[in-house]
Amino acid sequence: MNRHEIKEVIEKSIRTETEYEGAIKESMAANDIEGWDSLAHVRIIFRIDHHLGTQVDLNATYATNTITDLIELFVNEVE
Amino acid sequence: MYDLPVYLLESGHMDTQCKYLSKLLESFEHKPEIEYSVVISNGEEKKITWKDLENECQSIMNSLKGIEKGVVLIFLRHSSSLHGAFFGTMMAGHTPSFMPCTSVKQDPALYWASHQKLLNHIKPTAIITSKDVSQEILQAKLELGNTKIIHIEDIEIPESKINIELRSEDEIALLQHSSGTTGLKKGVALTFDAIVKHAESYSSAISIIEEDTIVSWLPLYHDMGLMACMIMPAYTSTPVIHMSPFDWVGKPHLLFEVIEKYSGTLTWMPNFAFEHMALYAPRMPHNYDISTMRAFISCSEVCRPESFDKFFNAFNEKGVEKSMLHTCYAMAETVFATSQSTLNRKAKRILVNQRDLNRGEYVRIYDENESSLETPRQLIETGSIIEGLEVKIVDEDFKSLPELTIGEISISGTFIFDGYYRMPDLTNERVMNGSYMTKDLGFFDSSGRLYVLGRVDDLIIVQGRNIYAHQVEALVSTLEGIKPGRISAFGIYDPRIGSESMILVCEVENGQSSEESQKIKSTINKLLQSTIEVVPKKIRLVTPGWLVKTSSGKVGRKENKEKHLLESRGGK
């Protein structure tokens, strides 16, 4: 799975769990997306993990600042 | 009457003995090597015996020597030190109160700045904290006055044992900080008498036995975690296995892992947690033996039968039975539990018409197979009222209503709180003729089972956290770009997560660019995440004049919620 495909999975998971309808840019942080609270964060990660077949360390996801960081985290995990 | 330990008999406090503390001292004396608790943090397990707890308490008492008696705030992250800090403070004659620390998603500067008002109000004589948290407090430049900071890393056991200050039963034992945004939290004051009577009544309602082991991931600053999983079990000498809420939320299977390892029998969690566990079910690493469990008790937000169904369907093969799923109606103002469903029996469900569920209306119960209802809703009992409390359903004039009629739940009895700390006006507003007016709506069925429906006021319960809409509006009102006072916050039940979500509608100046709008939304999210740890599900920025006003000129939440829902569905 390439970076673009991983990015799509992440975006879709964010939209499903937050029901956010606006544009999602890689530079955005959780605070920029309505409905992305601490429980939504865990649910987003569960969903991404489920689709990518990964099991990331949740603490590592908390350390990400932007969606780019999150994509890179999963790209490394998939590799 | 309990036998007092020898060193108490020698301490000369016999005439003012406090039953709660005496019970703890009895455990110190008679079962020093027995397990009091296990605290699990970052995969490490620390067992605490009663002797360990006594030593921790003695160290805390030692560190509080010479400090004027008063409220001691405990800002500690999940660790084995929490218990000694709390009980040691109590034993030193002070009034302890657990407070939450920052989470990884919160901005420490915003979080601590929002505590200044609380500190000014409480004027704590001491704060027990860790060095990392204390660093955040210092960097936030909070005005602490004469409050002494005690670092948990520096406490030392005294050379000779310090006598416990046994206090009278009607003294304030602790403060439980309940609903409210950080700056305006209400300190629910509970006497020793109240916590003892609650512990005796509630442990009897759930038939606590010697073989019980409680498993909990609940934070101790929440009444459910504090009362059900620390104050009551310490009194009944029931061991508790404490996990970190942060560990559990990311790895929900840890709950089952701990139940299996420690033969857990009881656990409490809010409604959303049943949904969260069910969502996680496919990722469970393996089957756990959880057959020792007697009850998973749902509490802290309206109990939903559909959430129980998801949990049951997800874990029935792992040993979860319907008779294990229970409900409790609780609040800090009654120490914790007010009602409890009967263990070993399935909680009762009824089918009603959602349209009947209005204040003052009679609730007709339909046959469970009735299919003609346009708006069917299944309700689940929250059980019978526990001994020592009396509950009435009342109308707007505080007159009692008959069974199956919806009204406000009012509670009186022997373990009602002693008032909100230094808030006499608020206390008088909520306690009328000795009855606590809950602002919860509910009704009794013909067999005395209580059903809780929702709120009279603007409280929004988001994943077990109590958030007042007017306080959120006041916080957001201070932000640049928002028209002051032109905000409406309300809750909408989200069946996907089994909890309410907060919606925020704010009027902004005309002509905002999309970048400006995005910036405002991000600022709102950051502020609310850092102060109340809840972010809105949706923030609607609307033009001036959008918000509906009531006849008295106020922004009406109910009206704006209806308008929002109508527009969301595509209506005009």
pLDDT of B262 strictly over 70 = yes
Among B280, B518, B533, select the one facing A32 at the smallest CB separation: B518
pLDDT value at residue B38: 98
Cβ atoms of residues B364 and B379 within 8 Å: no
Helix (H) or strand (E) holding B80: none
Touching check for B529 and chain A: CB below 8 Å?
yes
Burial class of residue B163, CB neighbours in 10 A (0-12, 13-18, 19+): middle
When pLDDT is averaged across residues B440-455 and rounded to a whole number, the result is 95
Find which of A31, A42, A67 to mutate to test the B interface (most B CBs within 10 Å of its CB). Answer: A31
Residue B15: which pLDDT band, with cuts at 50, 70 and 90?
Answer: very low
pLDDT value at residue B104: 80
Helix (H) or strand (E) holding A51: helix A38-52
Range from B179-183, B208-212, B239-243, B315-319 carrying the lowest mean pLDDT: B179-183
Residue B510: which pLDDT band, with cuts at 50, 70 and 90?
Answer: confident
- Give the three-state DSSP class for B85: helix
Please state, as a whole number, how many other Cβ atoms lie within 10 Å of the Cβ of residue B395.
Answer: 14
Which chain B residues contact residue A34 at CB under 8 A? 521, 525, 535-539
Asked whether the beta carbons of residue B537 and residue A35 sit closer than 8 angstroms, the reply is: yes
Touching check for A2 and chain B: CB below 8 Å?
no
pLDDT value at residue B8: 43
Residue B214: which pLDDT band, with cuts at 50, 70 and 90?
Answer: very high
pLDDT of B542 strictly over 60 = yes
When pLDDT is averaged across residues B39-64 and rounded to a whole number, the result is 96
- Contacts with B, A 46-75, CB within 8 Å: 46, 49-50, 55, 58-59, 62-63
Residue ranges of the domains in chain A? 3-78
For B23-43, write each residue's pLDDT tens digit: 999 999 999 999 999 999 988
pTM of the entire predicted model = 0.89
B173 is written with which tokens? Answer: 């034992």
pLDDT value at residue A48: 95
Q: Which chain A residue shows the shortest CA-CA distance from B281?
A: A46
Touching check for B27 and chain A: CB below 8 Å?
no
pLDDT value at residue B509: 82
Touching check for B522 and chain A: CB below 8 Å?
yes
Q: Which chain A residue shows the shortest CA-CA distance from B42?
A: A59
Residue identified by tokens 């991000």 is B522
When pLDDT is averaged across residues B437-454 and rounded to a whole number, the result is 96
Asked whether the beta carbons of residue B280 and residue A46 sit closer than 8 angstroms, the reply is: yes
pLDDT value at residue B318: 86
- Give the three-state DSSP class for B440: strand
When pLDDT is averaged across residues B295-322 and rounded to a whole number, the result is 93
pLDDT of B108 strictly over 70 = yes
B401 is written with which tokens? Answer: 């209503």
Residue ranges, chain A, pLDDT below 50:
none
Give the closest-approach CA distance of B338 to chain A in angstroms: 28
pLDDT of B3 strictly over 70 = no
DSSP-assigned states of every residue in B301-327: S---HHHHHHHHHHHGGGT--GGGEEE
Q: Could you tell me the CA-to-CA distances from B252 to B11, B220, B335 in Å, in that order? A: 47, 18, 28
CA B501 to chain centre: 17
When pLDDT is averaged across residues B547-553 and rounded to a whole number, the result is 82
Q: Which chain B residue shows the shortest CA-CA distance from A56?
A: B250
Residue B55: which pLDDT band, with cuts at 50, 70 and 90?
Answer: very high
Quote ipTM for the complex.
0.81
Give the closest-approach CA distance of B308 to chain A in angstroms: 19
Asked whether the beta carbons of residue A62 and residue B104 sit closer than 8 angstroms, the reply is: yes
Find which of A28, A32, A36, A37 to mutate to test the B interface (most B CBs within 10 Å of its CB). Answer: A37
Which chain B residues contact residue A56 at CB under 8 A? none
pLDDT value at residue B511: 73
Residue B183: which pLDDT band, with cuts at 50, 70 and 90?
Answer: low
Among B279, B463, B526, select the one facing A46 at the smallest CB separation: B279
State percent of chain B over pLDDT 70.
96
Residue identified by tokens 């109308």 is B395
CATH architecture of A3-78: Orthogonal Bundle (1.10)
Among B103, B276, B538, select the one facing A35 at the smallest CB separation: B538
pLDDT value at residue B572: 52
Asked whether the beta carbons of residue B497 and residue A41 sit closer than 8 angstroms, the reply is: no
Find which of B269, B525, B564 to mutate to test the A interface (most A CBs within 10 Å of its CB). Answer: B525
Asked whether the beta carbons of residue B535 and residue A50 sit closer than 8 angstroms, the reply is: no
Q: Could you tell me the CA-to-CA distances from B288 to B246, B260, B298, B318, B319 in Å, in that order? A: 21, 6, 21, 7, 9
When pLDDT is averaged across residues B376-400 and rounded to a whole number, the result is 96
For B134-159, write each residue's pLDDT tens digit: 999 999 999 999 999 999 999 999 99
Strand B295-298 versus strand B450-455 pairing type: unpaired
Mean pLDDT of chain B: 91
Asked whether the beta carbons of residue A37 and residue B529 sit closer than 8 angstroms, the reply is: yes
Touching check for B515 and chain A: CB below 8 Å?
no
Q: Which chain A residue shows the shortest CA-CA distance from B515?
A: A32
When pLDDT is averaged across residues B167-180 and rounded to a whole number, the result is 86
Which chain A residues contact residue B541 at CB under 8 A? none
Q: What would the CATH number be for the domain defined by B459-568?
A: 3.30.300.30
pLDDT value at residue B4: 41
pLDDT value at residue B551: 74
Residue ranges of the domains in chain B? 1-36+48-167, 459-568
pLDDT value at residue B180: 54
B165 is written with which tokens? Answer: 């200050």
When pLDDT is averaged across residues B233-240 and rounded to a whole number, the result is 98
Range from B294-298, B367-371, B389-393 carrying the lowest mean pLDDT: B367-371
Q: Which chain B residue shows the shortest CA-CA distance from A41?
A: B250
Q: What would the CATH number be for the domain defined by B1-36+48-167?
A: 3.40.50.12780
